Amino acid sequence: MPPRIIVIDNHTTSREFLTATLSAAGWQFSGFDYAGFSLAVLEQDRPDLIILDFNLPNVGVGWGLLQLLKMVDEVVNIPILIISTAFQVSTELRNYLFTRNIGTVSQPLDLDTFLTRVHITLALASQSEVLLRDGRTLPVLVVEDSEELRDALTVILELEGYRVVAVDNGLAALDRVYLANHSLILLDLAMPVMDGIAFLRAYGQQLRPHTPVVILSAQEDIIMADLPAFVLEVLRKPFEIDALLRIVAKYAQPGTTNAIDTSNATY
């Protein structure tokens, strides 16, 4: 039986073009807009591939659906191919998506390239049993001034099932930790307004237990003994996403506040 493909695209002309192209290539297909699509469709049809349009007024709608698709056990292993005219992602995010059977292709489409990507996505998915994690619901605070990296980390962690709060400097992070608890803080050091070291000093003055902190930095001269006790690890930039995810999974355990009582510590 030929592979079955579902196309989710809000633009009628684009959707009809894609479905006609897939039909001519010998694949079975169904086409939906965002409003007409539901998870029940996947549970009933069990497609081999989902083609997802990101050309929406609000691209966040596309990311929201992508996250949903990768958090439902019944459909989590279905590969996805994202199509967009303006799909700009960092290398870290693109590599991460690739490991999770999520491909990307830009419009306007080159027909041969598009069909090749469909073939490759289907082939890789058939050889892989990698699924996204579920049950990771505790908030992680990302403190990073690079918008590209901050956005990439937010998307990756949310696709892994974590809730994420992201800010671009230490002062904003200090406001966040006053307002709510977090399971883990991922902290850059070189930032405007308030850098990471100044944040650690200010955060260390709080009397309540502290959330574990993992430093993400390219600095080579960081000495753990000079840092507060609630700083548990340093991950050097540039880092592998898998290494980051292992650290997040190590400290951001579901169902616990994961706070460290350092009220008697000195630093």
State pLDDT tens for residues 62-104.
Answer: 888 888 887 777 777 788 888 887 656 677 777 777 777 788 8
Of the given ranges (142-146, 234-238, 259-263), which has the lowest mean pLDDT? Answer: 259-263
Domains in the chain, CATH or no CATH each: 4-127 (3.40.50.2300), 139-251 (3.40.50.2300)
Among 33-37, 92-96, 242-246, the least confident range: 92-96
Residue 128 has pLDDT above 70, yes or no: no
Query: 27 pLDDT band (50/70/90 cuts)?
Result: confident
Q: What confidence score (pLDDT) does residue 133 get?
A: 42
| Percent of the chain residues past pLDDT 90, beyond the cut | 29
Q: Is 213:185 a contact under the CB 8 Å cutoff?
A: yes
Average pLDDT over residues 111-131: 70
pLDDT tier, 237 (very low <50, low <70, confident <90, very high otherwise): very high
CB 81 within 8 A of CB 50: yes
Is 267's pLDDT higher than 80? no
Q: Give the pLDDT confidence of 3-12 residue by residue, as tens digits.
A: 789 999 988 8
Across residues 160-176, what is the average pLDDT? 90
